[in-house]
Every structure is written in structure tokens, then in C-alpha cells.
Amino acid sequence: MEVVALPADEPEAASAPQYGGQPDSPARRPRPKSRATQRLEKAQVAAFMALRAVSSYSETDVELPVFFGSLSETLARLLRARRAAFWRLGPDRTLTVQPQAYGFATDSPLHDMRIRLPVDGESVAERVIFRDELDIVDGSSKDLDALWQAHGLAGIKSSIAVSWRAGDRRIGALVAYDSRRGFSNDDAWVLRVAAMATGLMWQYREAEQKLDVIAERLEQAAASRRQLLANIAAGGDEARRRFASTLHDDSLQLLTAAELQLERARVETDAEKASTQLDQLAITLKSVEDSLRRLLLNVSPQSTDLPLGLDEAIRTRLEALRTHTGIEPDIDLRLPGHLPEAVEAVVFKNLSEALTNVEKHAHATRIRVSAYPVDGGVAVVVVDDGKGFVVAESLYVPGHLGLLAIRERAQMAGGRCRIESEPGAGARVEFWVPLNH
């Protein structure tokens, strides 16, 4: 970014024009400008050039330190000052100088200065800069000069400072040092104009950054939506495959065994043996009933379709898991008495999905299931002592969409989900669903 050139001093008044060889009459001579008018015009030109320097930032891609360094140089030249700097006010109420302050050596103590503003608002920096009590006497603010010297910045002969704001928010301060002719109120006004314009630019850059963040989040949301739709489609195929597999490998197998047992009992002539066959048949049919009930619970679309309440349905599902796999459950259910149907549906579906995952893949011996109210919702934790897995790999493996379904179902309900596991260390599935969503 180029440094704005200085306005030239006004030329000396030219000789009066001649008409017919005679000097112009006094009545026709232009009235000389007063010193006040000249100062005002120079200040206006300087302010205009400061505004142009600030606005040039929006037209370039320079980094902020480079911009502040160039702008500090421009302002110093406009005010006939040897040095200038922007100071940033941090969240801990401490002023620190922005990089590339103009006119200071790299080893100047200025770069390490920390000016802390007390809460009572009675410090020199607070009064002079932020309460606009700048008092210029003999070309400088003596209070400011003393402030720099107190913080180790020796050799400052004159200084002025103004507040640097973005709307009502204080960003920091803009300071000019060591004027060649002494600072004036006009110089302070030029600094205020530059600080105001820089504050507007700062707000503009902040708004741009926020828009970039929002745009990025919208893109992430759109990508997540596309992934969700793809997963829903894949999840439907997975659910149909799992349903068919359960029917074939469990219920239908048991029914075939029951038919064989019935046939043997029918052809058996020994009454005692026939009675034993019938007892075995009764046990098999009970297993078929349990299998079909378990399948019904897993595919139920709403919690109101459950033949039992949520608490009892969870216990029944865990007992079926124990009977079918031998995995011993440890149950801690502290569910509220009345839950919204949608919440019950998400809780039971996610819990069933987690148990199915343990049943098929974990090779566990024990499982702990906890459910309790917290933070205006219901939290469910499922922990097993199985073989574990790599979470990042398992979430998107074809045919293993159960964990992904748990996460997405919880998120779609306004909740959250966390899955933790390592090979050989078991697994922990935790999700939370708000009561109102």
C-alpha cells in the first residue's frame, strides 16, 4: 500500500496582475486568507488524505500489520510527526502496540509495553484517550508524555492520542509522537477522523469474517444434509437386510427346529419320550415368541407402538440379549415418569441399535446401560467390555451403519451423541435427547 503524499505548502502570493500597464486597484485585489482559514483548509486536506489512505485497504489484500504500518507512516507525515502507532485494547483492559509502528526501532521498548487500564477509569490513558480529555499545551499533552516515560519510553518530546473505536466498542488508541512544529487541536481532529474511518474498516473486516464463517457453516450443513440423505437411503437397505437376516437366522430357524421336534414327538411310541419331546417343543416355541417380540420392538416406528412402557421395554430387550447371547446386563434406569412420545422413540431406537451392535460385533460378556434425566433431556449410556473398534473407521463401513444411525437420530432430535472405543478396550456409546425439540 502506497503512503499518501503530503499536501504541499501554499505558495507565496503572486504579484498582482497588470491591466493596461497599471497595477490592479485595491478593490479588485483578492482578500488574503486568514491564518485560521489556512489552518482549517490544511486540516481538511490532511483529513481527506487520511480517509483515502484508510479506504485503500478495502481495495487491496495486504495483511493487517502491513496496513497499520503504512497508515501509521501516512498519518505521521500528514501531521509532521516523527512517529505514530496504533494501540490495541485487549480483553484484560491492557493496551499493546500493533505490529509495525512507524518511526520506532525494532529494539524499542515500545514493542514490549503493556499499559493496564484500571477498572475505576481514572488512569491517564482512560481520561485522555477514551474520555476525550486531551489537553494540548505548548504543542503536546503533558499527561501523555509522562505516561510514556513512566512505562520506559524515554525521549518522547510531544504526543497526542485519540480513541480508536468500532461503533460503541473500544478497539484501542491512535497516537502520534514528536511533532516537528508541535501538535495542535487540528492535528487531533485529523487523528480522530482517521481513527473513526479505521474503526469502520475494522467493523467491515469483522463482518466479512463473520460472513465467511457463516458461509462455511452453511456449506458444512449442506454437505451434512447430503451425507444424511445418502445414509438414510443406505440405512434403509441395511434395515431391510438386517430384518431379513433376523427372520432367517433366528425366528425361521427356530420354527424349523420346532417342526422337526413335533414330527419326532408324533412318531414316538414311548409316552415318556414323547412327553420329553413336547417339553422341548414348548421351549422352542417360547424362544420363537421371544425372537418375534424382540424383532417387533426393534422395528417399531413409534414408542406408542411398544407393547410395554419404555422402562419395561428396555429391560425386556436386555433380558432378551442375555438369553440370546449370555451377555450379563447391569441396568440403571432413572427415566422420568412421562416422556414425550418422540423422545421415547429416539431413546428406544438408539438403545436398541447400540445393543444390536454389541450383540453382533462386540463379543462382550457384560454390558451396562444407564438412562437418566439431565440438562432438560434424557441421557443414555451403553458401555460394554467387548473387543472394541476404531471409531473413525467403523462409522462409515458398509453394512455397519448402526452407530452412524444413532448419531444422526440424536442430532435430528436436537441432541448429541458421543462414541468412544479402542481395539481391546470395549466401547462406550452415549447420547442425549432434549425433552422439547
Confirm whether 197 is domain-assigned: yes
> CATH number for the domain including 61?
3.30.450.40
Integer Cα distance of 383 and 106 in angstroms: 59
**Containing domain of residue 408, as a range?**
310-437
- Domain-terminating residue out of 213, 245, 261: 213
> CATH number for the domain including 395?
3.30.565.10
The pLDDT of residue 11 is: 41
- Whether 45 and 194 share a structural domain: yes
- Whether 329 and 185 share a structural domain: no
The pLDDT of residue 39 is: 64
The pLDDT of residue 9 is: 46
- Whether 208 and 80 share a structural domain: yes
- Whether 46 and 191 share a structural domain: yes
Confirm whether 248 is domain-assigned: no
The pLDDT of residue 96 is: 93
Determine how β-strand 328-333 pairs with β-strand 366-374: parallel
The answer, as to whether pTM is greater than 0.75, is: no
Confirm whether 357 is domain-assigned: yes
Confirm whether 49 is domain-assigned: yes
CA dihedral 97, 100, 103, 105 (to 10 degrees): 90
What's the distance, Cα to Cα, between the start and end of the chain in Å? 52
- Whether 60 and 192 share a structural domain: yes
> Which parts of the chain sit beneath pLDDT 50?
1-21, 301-304, 399
- Whether 208 and 344 share a structural domain: no
SS (H, E, C) the chain: CCCCCCCCCCCCCCCCCEECCEECCHHHCCCCCCHHHHHHHHHHHHHHHHHHHHHHHHHCCCCHHHHHHHHHHHHHHHCCEEEEEEEEECCCCEEEECCCCECCCCCCHHHHCCEECCCCCCCHHHHHHHCCCCCCECCECHHHHHHHHHCCCCCCCCEEEEEEEECCEEEEEEEEEEECCCCCHHHHHHHHHHHHHHHHHHHHHHHHHHHHHHHHHHHHHHHHHHHHHHHHHHHHHHHHHHHHHHHHHHHHHHHHHHHHHHHHHHHCCCHHHHHHHHHHHHHHHHHHHHHHHHHHHHHCCCHHHCCCCHHHHHHHHHHHHHHHHCCEEEEEECCCCCCCHHHHHHHHHHHHHHHHHHHHHHCCCEEEEEEEEECCEEEEEEEECCCCCCHHHHCCCCCCCHHHHHHHHHHHCCCEEEEEECCCCCEEEEEEEECCC
- Domain-terminating residue out of 180, 213, 246: 213
- Whether 428 and 318 share a structural domain: yes
Total tally of structural domains belonging to the chain: 2
Confirm whether 417 is domain-assigned: yes
Integer Cα distance of 167 and 386 in angstroms: 59
- Whether 202 and 318 share a structural domain: no
- Whether 65 and 209 share a structural domain: yes
- Domain-terminating residue out of 213, 244, 259: 213
